[in-house]
Structure formats: structure tokens, C-alpha cells
């Protein structure tokens, strides 16, 4: 019985960490998007900054999709 409780507690902890990471990544994405909007408004020599932000957004999106996939796997188990 204790091992079942330990497994459940471990699963709950992993899900909790995953949820926290998703929230953090979403906040990072939102900050990157806000920065991108600011840079777009400033125009001019912001092309390099825009590309940097796009790359960051792509990376954040990829990380979030990976985490959501892991959460789906956890819920299927």
C-alpha cells in the first residue's frame, strides 16, 4: 500500500514540476512576444533583435509542446 502511495506522490510531484515549468515557459514566451512587439514598433535596425526573439519564441514553443506531450503521457499511464 505504501509503495502505491509513494508512486502516486512521485507522479503528483512530477506533474506539479511540469506545470510549474509550463507556467514559467509561457511567461518567458509572453515576455519575448512583448519584447518583439516593442521592437517592431521601434522599427529601423531592429531586424537582428526581431530574429533573436523569433528564435527564442520558437524555442519556448518547442519546450512547451514537449512538456505538454509529457503531461499527456503521464495522464495516459
Give the pLDDT mean for 51-68: 91
pTM given for the model:
0.52
Phi, psi torsion values for 60, nearest 5 degrees: -65, -45
Find out whether 67 and 21 touch, Cβ atoms under 8 Å: yes
Q: Is the dihedral of CA 58, 62, 68, 72 positive or negative?
A: positive
> Which pLDDT score is estimated for 62?
93
pLDDT tens digit string along 20-54?
A: 999 999 999 999 999 888 877 776 566 777 888 89
Amino acid at each position: 500500500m505504501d509503495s502505491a502511495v509513494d508512486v502516486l506522490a512521485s507522479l503528483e510531484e512530477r506533474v506539479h514540476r511540469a506545470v510549474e515549468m509550463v507556467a514559467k515557459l509561457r511567461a518567458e514566451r509572453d515576455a519575448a512576444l512583448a519584447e518583439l512587439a516593442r521592437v517592431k514598433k521601434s522599427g529601423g535596425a531592429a531586424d537582428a533583435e526581431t530574429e533573436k526573439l523569433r528564435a527564442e519564441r520558437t524555442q519556448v514553443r518547442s519546450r512547451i509542446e514537449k512538456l505538454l506531450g509529457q503531461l499527456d503521457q503521464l495522464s495516459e499511464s
